[in-house]
Chain A
Amino acid sequence: MSKKIFSGPFLAFMLCGTIIPLGVIAYYGITDRSGAFTFENIKAITTGEHWEALMLALMLALISTVICLLIAFPLGLILKDSKLGKKGFMVFIFILPMWMNFLLRTMAWQVLLEKNGIINQVLGFIGLPSLHIINTPAAVVLGMVYDYLPFMILPIYNALIKIDKNVIEAAYDLGAGFRQVLQKVIIPLSVPGIVSGITMGFVPSLTTFAVSNILGGGKVNLIGNIIEHEFTTGSNWNLGAGLSLVMMIFIVISMALIEKFDRNGEGNII
């Protein structure tokens, strides 16, 4: 008896829970309301407002991913050397916020950032100029960074602690400076973590609609908002499905990236 058989339940779940539902969505995407075959719903991505929303979403997701990376990498380095960098502690501190409901957390940011909100009151009290980012793309980026930072920190940290200390010491012994060690040793060895952090944060940011609705004040229109609109108020599920099929392209790209850089699953979230 082959051990392969153990993957049976997994494959069954994948088939029933992922592949078949995706097939159903694909079917909706290539038909219209009457059930006739059409490519209109997929071509719709190129019309003005859809394309704009996609581009804006791509830009904001990109910016927030870069910010996440810039925050997470130094943090990973700090935690790698510090006593606090125990695995249990790490998971603990970065997963714990998820136990507060996502919508409530995002709404709390709204209360904090509002024109006359808590942060601005505090800033005004100590005589600093107020912060006007609510209802702008900047607030949406903040929300995305907030939500997906843990998914960036954990894989980077995991990749960093796997680097053999002796390798780094050897580099120093051979006369490399900190910058060189970073460039030639640490960064190349943490690529799997970086790649999986990027994909775990980028794609969900790309398709978010709650963050842009709440922190963007409905003024920041992303592709996620359009898909959500089509599935709810617009009640044109076929168009919504067609547009989500386009989003699958980004998922496939992410999968290819992970496959290329993180073959062995080194940069995992836990």
Chain B
Amino acid sequence: MKKFLCVFMTLILCLGAFTGCGGSKSSGENGTLYVYCFGDYFDPDLQYEFEEKTGYKLVVDLFDTNEEMYPVIKNNTADYDVICASDYMIEKLISEDLLDEINYDNVPNAENVADSIKPFMEAFDPGMKHSLPHTWGTYGIMYNKSMVDEEIDSWDVLWDQNYKDKIVMPNSLRECYMIAAKKLGYSMNTADESQIQEMTQILIDQKPLVYSFANDSAREIMIGDSAAMAVITSGEVIYSKEYNENLEFVIPKEGTEVWTDCWAIPKAAKNKEAAEAWINFMLDGDTAETNFEYLTYAIPNKLIADKMDEAVLNPSKDLLDKCETLRNLGAEADDIYSRYWKKYKAE
């Protein structure tokens, strides 16, 4: 037994050494760039391309939600040079003075940013001083034509008793309240407690119709024909349709949430130039196209605008006028939402 434990250990160590070597072959002639990003959020082949082009070695770390990333940046527990974060989180980081301004001289590709996204960026990062967009999208209703006969164009359908136990809702606080707000005609960034209370009530009324709360797995549930409709982000549509041709997507006429995930540079960055080189690389037309093909999420880049599906990934101006971006509401409002959300989930 002892001997074979030794064999086992050696095997493990060999494997470890093998993969370890594979990873850290060179440290890059211009230094190392630490990227902190949502998992699987750009084509991994781009890593090699970037390293070849710029001579930086790239180390990529991954997180799952903005909330997981936040304490890491706030407490500066690890030194990242460039991060990817969503709109409201960028606003929060800016308000806490955790982000550095981007030097546009080093990011000539910034001019490729699509114009349609700019008003939304202005809302959380005036002048786009601290962030540049990576992906964007809207929330809408994906439905299965074999289970839904009518034309859907409004959030009201989520309250239709005919779809009892057939609706998938997002498992995230702000998105659920966004739906209720749009249905009632409120701003999705309201901090008014009576409005939040009213929204909670209509969400509770709707809860018996919910099949499940799901984020990433919503599309899998839809592909598998297990639910009739799901509130989902536009980026999932191309992918889902590929596997289930009955799926259709619509952005409700009341308007919806436009989200943007952006690149930004933390104050604590050690290699700011490398970070800017990375952002510039990400905004390049070819890179954008590669990422679009890999992710199927909309990339707000002028050079590949024609590649985006008009209806899904490039909504009309009229519709966009009714949309809003998530804002950072501050600790007090967060607490109110949090309290009502727990009530809603406990029902």
State which of B37-45, B132-140, B317-325, B339-347 sits at the interface with chain A: B339-347
- The contact of B211 among A33, A48, A135, A235, by CB within 8 Å, is A135
Distance to closest chain B CB from A21 (angstroms): 15
Which residues of A206-260 have CB atoms within 8 Å of chain B's CB atoms? 213-214, 217-219, 221, 225-226, 229-230, 232-236
- The contact of B171 among A50, A52, A213, A226, by CB within 8 Å, is A213
Distance to closest chain A CB from B253 (angstroms): 27
B65 within 8 A of partner (CB): yes
Tell me how many residues of A have a C-beta within 8 Å of chain B: 30
A171 within 8 A of partner (CB): no
Asked if B345 contacts A49 (CB within 8 A), the reply is yes
Distance to closest chain B CB from A122 (angstroms): 14
B213: chain A residues within 8 A (beta carbon): 217-219
Asked if B345 contacts A114 (CB within 8 A), the reply is no
- The contact of B338 among A110, A221, A234, by CB within 8 Å, is A234
A116, B217: Cα distance in complex, Å: 14
Asked if A219 contacts B210 (CB within 8 A), the reply is yes
Asked if B342 contacts A49 (CB within 8 A), the reply is yes
A236, B337: Cα distance in complex, Å: 12
B310: chain A residues within 8 A (beta carbon): none
B5: chain A residues within 8 A (beta carbon): none
Asked if B171 contacts A48 (CB within 8 A), the reply is no
Asked if B346 contacts A52 (CB within 8 A), the reply is yes
Asked if A116 contacts B224 (CB within 8 A), the reply is yes
A204 within 8 A of partner (CB): no
A234: chain B residues within 8 A (beta carbon): 334-335, 338, 341
Asked if B338 contacts A117 (CB within 8 A), the reply is no
A50: chain B residues within 8 A (beta carbon): 342
B211: chain A residues within 8 A (beta carbon): 115, 135, 217
B173 within 8 A of partner (CB): yes
Residue of B nearest to A118 (CB): B224
A114: chain B residues within 8 A (beta carbon): 221, 224, 226
A213: chain B residues within 8 A (beta carbon): 171
Per-residue B-contact encoding for A86-125, CB less than 8 Å = 1, 0 else: 0000000000000000000001001100111100000000
Distance to closest chain A CB from B323 (angstroms): 22
A219: chain B residues within 8 A (beta carbon): 210, 212-213
Asked if B331 contacts A33 (CB within 8 A), the reply is yes
Residue of A nearest to B68 (CB): A232
Distance to closest chain B CB from A59 (angstroms): 14
- The contact of B345 among A110, A117, A221, by CB within 8 Å, is A221
B149 within 8 A of partner (CB): no
Asked if B221 contacts A233 (CB within 8 A), the reply is no
Asked if B343 contacts A110 (CB within 8 A), the reply is no
Among B220, B224, B226, max chain A CB count under 10 A is at: B226
Residue of B nearest to A56 (CB): B346
Which residues of B147-196 have CB atoms within 8 Å of chain A's CB atoms? 169, 171-173
A269 within 8 A of partner (CB): no
A53 within 8 A of partner (CB): yes
Asked if A218 contacts B67 (CB within 8 A), the reply is no
A219, B346: Cα distance in complex, Å: 8
A134: chain B residues within 8 A (beta carbon): 212
Asked if A233 contacts B67 (CB within 8 A), the reply is yes
Which residues of B232-254 have CB atoms within 8 Å of chain A's CB atoms? none
A114, B226: Cα distance in complex, Å: 7
A213-B171, A233-B172, A234-B338 given as contacts; is B220 within 8 A of A221 (CB)? no
Asked if B212 contacts A221 (CB within 8 A), the reply is no
A225-B345, A233-B173 given as contacts; is B225 within 8 A of A116 (CB)? yes
A135, B173: Cα distance in complex, Å: 19
- The contact of A232 among B67, B210, B214, B225, by CB within 8 Å, is B67
Asked if A217 contacts B212 (CB within 8 A), the reply is yes
Distance to closest chain A CB from B245 (angstroms): 16
B227 within 8 A of partner (CB): yes
Residues of chain B touching chain A, judged by Cβ–Cβ distance below 8 Å, are: 65, 67-68, 70, 169, 171-173, 210-214, 217, 220-221, 224-227, 331, 334-335, 338, 341-343, 345-346
16 inter-chain pairs at a CB distance below 8 angstroms, sorted by A residue, are A49-B343, A53-B346, A114-B226, A115-B211, A115-B227, A135-B211, A217-B212, A218-B169, A218-B171, A218-B213, A219-B213, A229-B342, A233-B67, A233-B172, A235-B331, A236-B334
A-B complex: 5 closest residue pairs judged by Cβ atoms:
A218-B213, A217-B212, A49-B346, A234-B338, A115-B226
